[in-house]
Amino acid sequence: MASDKDNLIKNYSYIDALRGIAILMVVAVHVSQSRTLNISDFAHSFLNFGSRGVQLFFIVSGFTLFMSLNNRVEKENRYILNYAIRRFFRIAPMYYLAILFYTNVILIYPPHKEGIILNVLFLHGWSIEWLNNVVPGSWSVGVEMMFYIILPFIFLKIKNLDQALKFFVYTIVFKAIVEYIIRANVKSSNIEELNLFLKFYLPNQLPIFCLGIITYFIVVRKENTLSFVKQSTLFMLTAVIGITLFCKTNVLLDEFVSFGIFFLFLVVFMSRSNGIINNWLLQQIGIFSFSIYLSHFAVIHILETFSFYYIKFGGIFDFIYRYLLVIICTTLVSAITYYLIELKFQKVGKALIDKSKA
C-alpha cells in the first residue's frame, strides 16, 4: 500500500513538470540571444517569450510554499523558523557556489566587492547597479529570497480565496504607486538601467507570486470563485481604472501579469491532467531546474569557445541544434550539482530542524 508521502509525491508530480517547462523556456531565450544565430525576426521575438519562464517559476513557488506552510502550521511548533531554515539551505549553498564560480572561473561580469557582498546577502535585488551583474540571471534569485522573507506575514493574513484575490489587487496598486514615486524622485544617468530595475525588482513581481497563492486556493482548497466575482469585481475595476489614470500605466496589459494569469490556468490544467505534458523527462528537468538556471549561462559561455557549437544547419535548425546541445550538457552538469550540493545541504537543513526538536 502506498504511503501518504508517496501519494503526495504522485499527486503533485506535475509541479516538477511545470518547473521543467519553465527552465526550458528560460534556456531557449538565452540560446537565441547568440549574436551569430541567424534566425528570422519572428522566431527571435517568439523565443523572447521564453524569459517569462521566470514568472512561471514564481507562480509555482507561491503555490508550493503556501501549500507547505499550510501543511506544517499544525505539525511543527516552530514552523516559521523551520521554513526559514529549509529555504536558506534550498537556495544559498548552490547560489554561493555560483557566485564563486562566476567571479573566479567564468568572468562574464567583472567581479566587484560591493556586488559580491550584496549577492551573498541576497540584497542585490534592491540595487540598480548590482541587480544582475555578478551571477547572470541572479535578479530572480534576489527577488525569490525577498519573497521568502515576506511570505510568512502574507500567510498569516490570507486564509481564503477572496482574501488572496483582493491581495492580488493590492499588489498591483502597490507596484504602480511605488514605480510612480521612484520615477518621480530617482534621477538616473542611465534610464535603461532604471527601467530594467523597475521591471525586475520585487514590487513588480509580487503580483505574480500572489497568483501562485491564488492557484493554491483553487487547486488544493478547491474553493469556489463565485463569491469573489459577486463581491469584488467592482472593487478591482475601480482600483485598476484609478491607478491607470493616476499613474498613467495600464496594468491590465502588463506583460508579467498577463503571462501570470495564463500560467495560473496552466497550473490548474496540469493539476487535473495526467497527459503527455506531465511526463518523467519534464519532471526530471524540473527537479534539476535550479541548478540548470544557475549553470546554463556558464555552459553556453564554455560551448561558445568550441567550434562545434557553431555547426551550421541553416536558419532555425541552428537554434534547435544549439538548444539541444545546451540542454543536454547543462542537465548533465546540473544532475551532479543537484546530488552533490543541493540535496546534501537540504539534508543539513533537515538535520538542524530535527536537532531542534530533540
pLDDT digits (tens, 9 = 90+) for 193-221: 999 999 999 999 999 999 999 999 999 99
Whether the predicted pLDDT of 293 surpasses 50: yes
Confidence of residue 135 (pLDDT cuts 50, 70, 90): very high
pLDDT digits (tens, 9 = 90+) for 54-71: 999 999 999 999 999 999
Please classify residue 40 by burial: count the beta carbons closer than 10 Å to its beta carbon, then call 0-12 exposed, 13-18 middle and 19+ buried.
exposed
Confidence of residue 249 (pLDDT cuts 50, 70, 90): low
Please classify residue 213 by burial: count the beta carbons closer than 10 Å to its beta carbon, then call 0-12 exposed, 13-18 middle and 19+ buried.
buried
14-38 average pLDDT score: 94
Cell reading at 229: 466575482
Amino acid at 303: L
Q: Can you tell me the distance from the alpha carbon of 96 to that of 119, in angstroms, rounded to the nearest whole number?
A: 9
Q: Which residues of 244-261 are buried (b: 16+ CB within 10 A; e: fewer)?
A: eeebebebeebebbebbb
The region of weakest confidence among 55-59, 123-127, 232-236 is: 232-236
Question: In this predicted structure, what is the pLDDT of residue 267?
Answer: 94
Q: Can you tell me the distance from the alpha carbon of 17 to that of 31, in angstroms, rounded to the nearest whole number?
A: 21
Question: In this predicted structure, what is the pLDDT of residue 9?
Answer: 44
Whether the predicted pLDDT of 8 surpasses 80: no
Q: Can you tell me the distance from the alpha carbon of 91 to that of 277, in angstroms, rounded to the nearest whole number?
A: 27
Question: In this predicted structure, what is the pLDDT of residue 254?
Answer: 77
Question: In this predicted structure, what is the pLDDT of residue 333?
Answer: 98
Q: Can you tell me the distance from the alpha carbon of 6 to that of 283, in angstroms, rounded to the nearest whole number?
A: 15
Spatial contact of 356 and 86, defined as CB atoms under 8 Å apart = no
Ordered by start, the domain boundaries in the chain are 1-38+278-358, 77-157, 159-272
